[in-house]
Amino acid sequence: MSDSAAVLELPGSNAGAGSAAAIEVPNVGCPKCGSLESWGRSSWCPQCGFYPRLGTSVAELEAAPETQSSFAPKTPLELWLHMPAWIKVLCTGVVAIFGMSLAVRAVTPDKSFVRSLWGTCQLLAGLGVFVAFHLVATIKASFKQNGTGFMDAIVHPFDVWRPTIYELPGSARRLWLAVWGLTATVCAVAIIGGIRYSVLVEDWGFRQRANSDIAAQIKAKAMEAAMAGAKQADSLEDAVKGAAAKDGENKDGENDLDMLTTDCVVVGYNVSAADGKISELLLASIVEGQLKYVGSVSEGITDNIRNELARKLPKLKQQVPIVKCPGRAVWVKPEVACRTNFKKWTEQMLMSKVKFKELLADVK
């Protein structure tokens, strides 16, 4: 073999047959290292690994991913600088909502109306935005994934967001608003607070009303008692027994578990020295056409009812009781109505073993 050309011997040919049995081809070799070694079926040089189509070597291609994956930010600032723009916007919004919630908590007094209003509005707004865009993500997922429906928004809440995540950064706005809405909701509950959850059990117009006759007489007699100094009748026995017998009967004319039931109004209350919560209600009812004190109740009053009464009763304070009552209490106008169960009437015509049953609609 000469320096200027390489001889390619054909299979089955005789090497000594002369130039007619051989073909001369140009000596090109590897463009990078000049090696004349045969490449065989490979597309790159066996000596240096040069890949002509890509213009680089196989070794460089294998080393490139290792170089990229080895990047590790050393400081938070370096991490922030390498974040995609859509993640920076998302994080900025979350931090802003968190900071605003902390500021509201810091500048508003505990249990104040302003904090309660802000917390409630932020809770409703955040929850509304999150639910709206969660449904949008569900609708988008139904176009991309067969069998996805609205129930998946509840049963598989993370699955419906997969198409949105795959489309990032094009779908970033949808993700921003959903995450910001969820952040506002969580911050309203966990940071701001002051939300009146007990409003859910307050009277929305479905609470039972006191006996219509009793309610009308309570209103009329309360006004008369206020002007006449709460004059009392000489005897309550017959009237109270009659009223209790009537109120204690159910629709079938039978007593419910041998307990009497009557509708009353709250004329005063006492609070516990330990926790400051309402511990006792002083009650009055209509007896023989007049408003009379018939006893007090402390058993059966739930915490939700105590909280509701704590908001209502202080607004109804007055200096003297509307009827003559024993002991001391915080006296109120007879507007808050309730229903009680009790075992029997005592010799002094007071309810015995009284148990609070439920609040009724206010007497206006």
The single-letter code of the amino acid at 242 is G
- pLDDT tens by residue, 35-47: 888 877 777 788 8
- Rounded distance between C-alpha atoms, residue 264 and residue 243, angstroms: 11
Mean pLDDT of 156-173: 89
Maximal CA-CA distance, the chain: 150
Give the DSSP letter of residue 146.
T
Give pLDDT, residue 235: 38
Give pLDDT, residue 85: 92
- pLDDT tens by residue, 216-264: 656 665 556 555 544 433 333 344 444 444 444 444 444 555 688 888 8
Give the DSSP letter of residue 26.
-
User: What percent of the chain is modeled with pLDDT above 70?
Assistant: 69
Unique residue bearing structure tokens 């073909």: 23
Q: CB burial class (10 A; 0-12, 13-18, 19+) of residue 142? A: middle
- Rounded distance between C-alpha atoms, residue 298 and residue 279, angstroms: 6
Q: CB burial class (10 A; 0-12, 13-18, 19+) of residue 10? A: exposed
Give the DSSP letter of residue 157.
T
Give the DSSP letter of residue 205.
S
The DSSP H or E segment spanning 344 is: strand 344-345
Strand spans (E) along 123-277: 260-271
Mean pLDDT of 349-358: 85
Predicted confidence band of residue 180 (pLDDT cuts 50, 70, 90): very high
The DSSP H or E segment spanning 24 is: strand 22-25
- pLDDT tens by residue, 263-287: 888 999 999 888 888 999 999 887 7
- pLDDT tens by residue, 19-37: 444 444 345 678 878 788 8
Is the pLDDT score of 199 beyond 60?
no
CA distances from 165 to 49, 137, 171, 172, 236 (A): 39, 10, 7, 8, 76
Mean pLDDT of the chain: 76
Mean pLDDT of 134-152: 85
CA distances from 340 to 40, 255, 259, 352 (A): 101, 14, 10, 11
Give pLDDT, residue 6: 41
User: What percent of the chain is modeled with pLDDT above 90?
Assistant: 23
Domains and CATH numbers, the chain: 6-69 (no CATH), 76-195 (no CATH), 212-359 (2.40.50.140)
Q: CB burial class (10 A; 0-12, 13-18, 19+) of residue 304? A: middle
Unique residue bearing structure tokens 């739930």: 302
Asked if 176 contacts 90 with a C-beta cutoff of 8 angstroms, the reply is yes
Task: Note if the bond before 169 is cis, omega within 30 degrees.
Answer: yes
Give pLDDT, residue 98: 96
Higher pLDDT, 203 or 149: 149
Give pLDDT, residue 252: 42
pTM greater than the 0.85 cutoff: no
- Rounded distance between C-alpha atoms, residue 164 and residue 159, angstroms: 10
Q: Is 212 helix (H, G, I), strand (E, B) or coil?
A: helix
Is the pLDDT score of 48 beyond 90?
no
Give pLDDT, residue 135: 93
